[in-house]
Amino acid sequence: MLTITTPAEMRAWARVQHAAGRSIGLVPTMGALHRGHRELIADAARRADAVVVSIFVNPLQFNEPADFDRYPRPIDDDVDVCAAAGVAAVFAPTAATMYPTGFQTRVLPGALGDVMEGPGRPGHFEGVLTVVAKLFGATAADIALFGQKDYQQLRLVTQMASDLDLGVEIVGHPIVRDDDDVAMSSRNVRLDDEQRAAAVCIPRALAAAATTAASAHDADAVVDAARAVLDDEPLAAVEYVTVFEAETLEPVESIEVGQRRPGAVRIAAAVWFGDVRLIDNRDLFDGG
């Protein structure tokens, strides 16, 4: 397995792959790899000939400097995980090679960036789209895998790839959960034992919402069902809970008959445990 550290070397490697007729599958990550990332890598390996995992804690997408500083960076372990998973190349550039002096171009999100994570994290999605566009450019990926865990990000990246004719197919991978249904996240390691145990309130809240949605049409009732579970957990501080249309991400007020099917309406939540912010979401009508 190769470890590549500059966009120029990355492109050169990608050119060789394409010349040899090999398709390239990209899994963009910020490292601290867990089973969720490993499943994305396995999915990429099924869909492409050569898998590239990028590991880059992108300063442009952190609106809180402290969150950037605290983000875990176990790069040696991550390289081992990638090697064991049969990854062809790890792309681990430095911030200086990604954003050299004089760097000034950004990708602006459209309306998909104005809801949920958008208002509370100014500049976040602009940073995400800019780095993802750069990663697509450097890796010349034919296909790229993103987790539904960051559902809004997945929708924004899909929209960008289409709007900007980037020629890369975007695939969303289902949320990978721990044994207690808490969504896997690199930020989970920053929870203490009590907080980690308390975090189970998130998947429980989303499940309660789905149960309520089976009979209720009013989205407020669905949100209330989730909030009741979250409010019951003293260690949890809710930032938002929202029911939204899966394609447009627009808030849903009344869940219509035609929307009561898998893939149409989702619920998402952002919840703080101390200074750790977790997000999760689910389809309201997938029956799972």
Residues near ligand AMP, by CB under 6 A: 29-30, 36-37, 40, 146-147, 149-150, 173, 175-176, 183-186
- Give least dist CB 120 to ligand AMP, A: 17
Q: Kindly report the number of other CB atoms within 10 A of residue 264's CB atom.
A: 18
Nearer to ligand AMP, 212 or 244 (CB): 244
Q: Kindly report the number of other CB atoms within 10 A of residue 122's CB atom.
A: 9
Residue type, 113: G
Nearer to ligand AMP, 60 or 255 (CB): 60
Distance CA 117, CA 270 (A): 8
201-210: burial string, b at 16+ Cβ within 10 Å, e else = bbbbbbbbbb
For 204, the token pair is 């429980």
Nearer to ligand AMP, 115 or 216 (CB): 115
Nearer to ligand AMP, 232 or 275 (CB): 275
- Residues belonging to the active site: 37
**Strand-pair category, 50-55 with 24-29:** parallel
- Give least dist CB 194 to ligand AMP, A: 21
Nearer to ligand AMP, 186 or 242 (CB): 186
The candidate with the shortest Cα–Cα distance to 32, out of 12, 58, 55, 13, is 55
Nearer to ligand AMP, 69 or 234 (CB): 69
CA dist 4 → 12, 19, 92, 94, 189 (Å): 10, 19, 6, 10, 27
CB 7 within 8 A of CB 98: yes
- Give least dist CB 171 to ligand AMP, A: 10
Q: Report helix, strand or coil for 32.
A: coil
- Give least dist CB 46 to ligand AMP, A: 15
Distance CA 43, CA 28 (A): 13
Distance CA 218, CA 138 (A): 46
Q: Report helix, strand or coil for 279.
A: strand
Of the chain, the end-to-end C-alpha distance in Å amounts to 37
- Give least dist CB 30 to ligand AMP, A: 4
- Give least dist CB 37 to ligand AMP, A: 5
